[in-house]
Structure 1
Amino acid sequence: MIEVYRRRVAENQVKVDHDSKLLSSLSLVRLIVFVGAICCILVIASNRLASLLVFVVPASVFAFGLAVKRYNLAAREQRHVTLLQQINAQEISRLENKLADFPSGQAFIKREHPYIADVDIFGTHSLFQLLNRTTTEAGQIRLAEWLAEPASKQTILMRQQAVQELAPKMDWRQDLQAAGMPFINPKTSYDGLLKWNAEPVKLLPLRTQYLVAGIVLGVASLASLGFFALHLVQVLRNLEPFSIYYLIPLLVSLTINGLVLKRLKATSQEIIDRLAQNVPVLAGYEALINKIESETFTTRMLQDLQAVFQNSHYSAAAEIRKLKRILEVFMQRGSKGPIGGNAFYTILNQFFLLDIYWILLTENWKTRNKENLGSWVAAVSEFEAVASLSGFACSNPAYTFPEISDESDQLRFTQLGHPLLHSEKRVCNDFELAGDGSIMMITGSNMAGKSTFLRTIGVNLVLAFMGAPCCMTSGNVSPVRLFTSMRTQDNLEEGVSSFYAELLRVEQLLKLAESGAPVFFLLDEMFKGTNSQDRYKGGISLIRQLSELHASGIVSTHDLELARATSEYLPVRNYSFNSRVTGREMFFDYKLTEGLCLDFNASELMRKSGIKLI
């Protein structure tokens, strides 16, 4: 696939170069039309051909408008192609495992979560960076939710079907992503938009009274202004002396208008403060919904999501466009009230109380779409999450979707690998664990691959349970609750040692297992912070307890005695990762082997570090 993306990057570059030349030509045409129109109008005016001006001026304006429209169209096309080029370059970076420049989703990490802190779901070089192709804040949140919470079997199957439909639609998926990219703004929050939409309206219940007041006061202001203007004309003609009394009606009118605007200031400012930063968000949603509405889908999930935007009474994109246009004008008011913002709006507002009309327009929109906006946001975020998984599936055609089994504790993978490792360095293994309380104990030397294998299992289970393809040739899994204890750390602020932190994780695991939920655990080097005798006693006791609670999982350890004892007395199977030392070199094959590890390399590593072993 990397060659496909490289070819698309090159093709897009050709289009960008072509559009750049076209923009230069159109810019020149626009200038020629403008200068030519001005010269033509001046010549006709100097010859006093007024009748000809009636035709030339509108024709000039029309011609200039066409030139500007064509230039803007070409500029939008160039921007879109540039974004497509960027998207394909990003796909190349993902395939090359260069993830540093992608959003890490660090904010979604929760230490108390059953697994996300241990198997690189979020953070630097994470699964989130590999999957995420969303452009909205809600889309990122939805993808993070899918990563953090296993779905039901029915939901997994629906998502698999949707991902399989969208994966081949590369052009549409990239167009969807490019449609939202110009409106990415990390400083905005769609949360504010949803909160405003949920709050009750204030002026709309008294709509008639406010409209009448606005019309009456506006007419009074206009009349008083006209009254004063006529007086000024008479003064300028020396027909009567200037009198301050002619100004009093205008001052009174403007004072009354100012008091009304002051009363409305809090409501106006609240709308602006809540929604001003969300105008780009609305533009992004409008662009995304237009793309979604224009495509035809066959799977039930995608059809149901698309139906959210389509109704005989409204068009979601059209409604969002209306609110965006309302806000674009209302924002001219400025957040500081009648004395701030656009001067032209401020003057008209003082005379005609424009705030009344724009507040009523926004509240009327809210009333009409109060039940819809949240659904539109949710549907767009679902589409973006599915499109992200589809892009991942398209970029990795060798990955496959696992079968979702109805049997409990069914777990089987063929040629399973870690998707965050480069394909050329990745070593794949077969793995199978079936039956309530089945536990695998993995022994191995340092750096032999035990922890990586545990994370390989964990990250692929996360992919399987969110409806994505896994890094494997085939697989069969049953829905379970994944739980890990691999990176327990001390916390100086809370006064928690690493050993106590591990005990807290174990306590959390036991409570989950006692709840009756099917649990699959991954434990890396249990009780590292205590002595060998307590580690042995605690390890064998915990494994027995988990087995009795019908929890299944994998435990990695360096303790051969613990591995032997558990396999003798409990339903535990021993596997290992081995290394070999040739001369002064160590070699690892990272292949899972049945049985205990027999070649530990700690002594050799210490010797290489300069320690003179006794």
Structure 2
Amino acid sequence: MSFIADKQTLEDMNMLGKYNHHSIFNLFNKVKTTGGEKLLQQMFQTPLTDAELINKRSRTFAYFQSTQITFPCSNEQFGAMENYLSGSIGKFFPGVIIYHASKKLQAAVLRDEEYPKLQNGLQQTIAVLRQCKAFISQFEEKARQKHPFYDELQMVKTILSDPKLEWLNKAQSGQSSLLNTARYDYLLRHTMQQALQTVMDTFYMLDVYLAVANLAREKQWNFATALPNGTNLFTATELRHPNINKAVANPVSFNSDSNLIFLTGANMAGKSTFMKAFGINVYLAHMGFPVAANNMEFSVKQGIYTSINVPDNLDMGLSHFYAEVLRVKKVAEEVSSGKNLVIIFDELFKGTNVKDAYDATLAVTAAFSEYRNCLFIISTHIIEAGEVLKHQSNIQSLYLPTIMNGSVPTYTYQLETGISADRHGMMIIENEGILELLEAQIN
């Protein structure tokens, strides 16, 4: 079963995007190889829903976080080997000899570049395979005991120790004779092609593990513990946004008897940032990746839905309010189907009038809260709804305060228990001199 996170959710949390410099993917994209980058993209697109697999991946990252190991090859070297091995070669060795003889003749007579390129690709591949073999030997000396990536590296060691590859350490650098070039080429691109693809795939995986582990060590991030679904537990201390330097941290706690946070606070108090931080860390935790939180434990969920930046759709004739309603309907369908989900709603029904927003926020929040297998964070400016909802035992009323220094608002970004009483909108408008500006233009 795949983890659910639709396009709207991924955009709200800014999860994906190789060319989006502020995406969470780009934050983690410190890999050395193109193959490693593709694997990292795949991991971001397919979070896990099995607690055992999540914890196994986390343990592997944590292990490499504790080491000082560097990836042994460059992207150029691995790219050259990948290009070389992906080329076609005949199934029968005599035909390969004829092919090489033909290409060598063309290179001599017609100055054709294909044969020199083939020889270069062969030499690059030999060099990379030697480096991989040396890396495994050095790594085993450092490890001295079984580790989470042991089986994968042992499989590569077995492949590279195959008697058919004994010549690797003896092969001379530079151009080989026609017969040796043909023999090596046939062995690498036909006889052992699938086995060598396994070697590359394993080192791409190693590339990802080392890159993510190094980032976790640099940022001093930790690894969450995944629990089987059903307990509906989430707890973390010092949870913060991973893409904000020196972000303010907050504790977060949920269980079946306290499964909804009703969040209030002024604009700019940090509500959206807190909710995104929570959602991003939930997503990363299901990937088995490091999280910007301490002591994090979570029951595995089937997916996450957010409604933070819901756009209108003029092409379909949808107003902002109706787009919000359709988003809530979509989430309601998923929740009522029995799925175990994390739901984040920022400013429900802000596209309609205050009375309708109050009634809808109150009714929808109360209805969602009854699904004790899911976790919810719902923010609003309609603090009157919070006064009614705070009497439900499973709803946590939290707010982000505003502190006034005279007429200037400041923000702690630190969660407090209760419902916000901040009403500083007009004061901020006055501080910006908007009314005076308009009056001056009239006069």
Task: Give me the TM-score of the superposition, normalised by structure 1.
Answer: 0.57
Distance 1:459 1:381, change over 3 A: same
Which residue of 259, 267, 276 corresponds with 1:438?
259
Q: Are positions 1:381 and 2:204 aligned together?
A: yes
Q: Which residue of 2 aligns with 1:158?
A: 56
Quote how far apart the aligned CAs of 1:305 are.
1.6
Q: Which structure is richer in relative contact order (CA contacts within 8 A, separation 6 or more)? A: 2
CA distance in 1, matches of 2:172, 2:338: 54
1:141-152 alignment runs, 5 A limit: 141-151=38-48, 152=50
Corresponding residue number in structure 2 for 1:583: 406
Distance (Å, rounded) in 1 between the aligned partners of 2:316 and 2:239: 39
Distance in 2 (CA, whole Å) between partners of 1:135 and 1:316 is 30
Change over 3 Å in CA distance of 1:469–1:213 after alignment to 2: closer
Aligned position for 1:58: none
Match of 2:283 among 453, 462, 465: 462
SS in 1 for 2:252: strand
- The Cα of 1:437 is off from its aligned counterpart by 8.0
**In 2 relative to 1, CA 202–384 (structure 1 residues): closer, same or farther, beyond 3 Å?**
closer
Compared CA separation, residues 515 and 148, structure 1 to 2 (3 A): farther
- Distance in 2, matches of 1:119 and 1:282, equals 43
* CA deviation after TM superposition for structure 1 residue 523, in Å: 1.6
* Cα gap change, 1:568 to 1:300, in 2 (>3 Å): same
Q: Which residue of 1 aligns with 2:351?
A: 529
Hey, what's the Cα distance between the residues in 2 that align with 1:485 and 1:473? 26
2:33 equivalent in structure 1: 136
Matched, 1:402 2:402: no
Overall identity of the aligned pairs, in %: 20
CA gap of 1:286–1:588, structure 2 versus 1, over 3 A, is: farther
1:204 aligned onto 2:27: no
2: CA distance between counterparts of 1:316 and 1:493? 65
Tell me by how many angstroms 1:285 deviates: 7.3
Alpha-carbon distance change, 563 to 607 in structure 1, aligned in 2, over 3 angstroms: same
Distance 1:295 1:541, change over 3 A: same
8 Å CA contact retained: 1:443, 1:556:
yes
Q: In the alignment, is residue 120 of structure 1 matched against residue 14 of structure 2?
A: yes
Letter in 1 for 2:284: L
For the structure 1 residues 510 and 318, does the alpha-carbon distance in structure 2 shift closer, same or farther, using more than 3 Å as the test?
farther
Shift of 1:418: 2.4
* Letter aligned with residue 180 of structure 1: S
Give unmatched runs, 5+ long, in structure 2.
Answer: none
In structure 1, the residue matched to 2:271 is 450
Distance 2:163 2:58 in 1: 27
1:95-142 Cα distance to aligned partner (Å, 9 max, x none): xxxxxxxxxxxxxxx994364322233432343343333111221222
How far the C-alpha of 1:478 sits from its partner, in A, is 1.4
Partner residue of 2:374? Answer: 551
Partner of 2:158: 311
- Please state how far the C-alpha of 1:583 moved relative to its aligned partner: 1.9
The equivalences for 1:96-495 within 5 A come to 112-113=6-7, 115-122=9-16, 123-151=20-48, 152-170=50-68, 172-173=69-70, 176=71, 179-180=73-74, 183=77, 196=86, 203-205=90-92, 207-208=93-94, 287=131, 290-296=134-140, 297=143, 298-311=145-158, 314=161, 362=185, 364-397=187-220, 399-406=221-228, 408-423=231-246, 426-435=247-256, 438-480=259-301, 481-490=303-312
Q: CA deviation at 1:309?
A: 0.9
User: Is the contact made by 1:439 and 1:571 (CA closer than 8 Å) also made in structure 2?
Assistant: yes
Contact persistence 1:286–1:320 (CA under 8 A) = no
Q: Conserved in 1, the CA contact under 8 Å of 2:84 and 2:125?
A: no
Structure that is richer in helix per residue = 1
What secondary structure is seen at the aligned counterpart in 2 of 1:295?
A: helix
User: Which SS does the other structure have where 2:344 is aligned?
Assistant: strand
Say if 1:579 and 1:306 are closer, same or farther in 2 by CA, change over 3 A: same
Distance 1:451 1:164 in 2: 30
- Supply the distance in 2 between the matched residues of 1:427 and 1:602 (Cα, whole angstroms): 24
Tell me if 1:610 matches 2:436: no
* Aligned counterparts of 1:310 and 1:467: Cα–Cα separation in 2: 26
Instruction: Give the CA RMSD over aligned residues.
Output: 4.6
Q: Distance between the aligned counterparts of 2:327 and 2:188, measured in 1?
A: 49
Deviations 1:525-564 (A, max 9, x none): 2233344444444434543453344421101111223333
Residue by residue over 1:573-601, the C-alpha shift from the partner in whole angstroms, topping out at 9 and shown as x without a partner, is 22111102232211211111111110122
State the Cα distance separating 1:395 from its structure 2 match.
1.9
Q: Is the 1:119–1:455 Cα contact (8 Å) retained in structure 2?
A: yes
Instruction: Decide which structure has the larger Cα Rg and report it.
Output: 1
Q: Distance in 1 between matches of 2:431 and 2:261?
A: 32
Q: In structure 2, how many angstroms separate the alpha carbons of the residues matched to 1:448 and 1:512?
A: 30
Question: C-alpha distance in 1, partners of 2:255/2:358?
Answer: 26
Query: How has the CA–CA distance of structure 1 residues 572 and 310 changed in structure 2, closer, same or farther, with 3 Å as cutoff?
Result: same
Q: Residues 446 and 309 (structure 1 numbering): CA distance in 2 closer, same or farther, change over 3 Å?
A: same
Counterpart of 1:560?
Answer: 383
Q: 1:570 to 1:281 in 2, by over 3 A?
A: farther
Distance 1:312 1:285, change over 3 A: closer
* 2:345 counterpart letter in structure 1: L
CA distance in structure 1 between the partners assigned to 2:310 and 2:168 by the alignment:
49
Letter in 2 for 1:117: E
CA distance 1:570–1:489, shift in 2 (3 Å): farther
- Asked if 1:601 corresponds to 2:424, the answer is yes
Cα distance change on mapping 1:451 and 1:282 into 2, 3 Å: farther
User: Cα distance 1:380–1:586, how it changes in 2: closer, same or farther (>3 A)?
Assistant: same
Secondary structure of residue in 2 paired with 1:117: helix
Deviates more, 1:129-138 or 1:306-315: 306-315
SS at match of 2:209: helix
TM-score (norm 2): 0.76
Paired with 2:276 and 2:304, the residues of 1 have a C-alpha distance of: 12
* Alpha-carbon distance between aligned partners in 1 of 2:132 and 2:315, rounded to the nearest angstrom: 44
Equivalenced residues, count? 419
How far does the alpha carbon of each residue in 1:256-275 deviate from its partner, in whole angstroms, 9 at most, with x for none? Answer: x99xx9xxx9xx98xx89x9
CA distance in structure 2 between the partners assigned to 1:315 and 1:417 by the alignment: 49
TM superposition shift of 1:303: 0.2
Distance verdict in 2 for CA 1:213–1:558, change over 3 Å: closer
Give the superposition deviation at 1:497.
Answer: 5.8
Residues 28, 211 of structure 2: 8 Å contact kept: yes
In the aligned structure 2, how far is the partner of 1:202 from the partner of 1:131?
37
Kindly tell me: are residues 145 and 537 of structure 1, through their superposed partners in 2, closer, same or farther at Cα, counting changes over 3 Å?
Answer: farther
Deviations 1:5-27 (A, max 9, x none): xxxxxxxxxxxxxxxxxxxxxxx
Q: In the alignment, is the contact (CA less than 8 A) between 2:335 and 2:341 conserved in 1?
A: yes
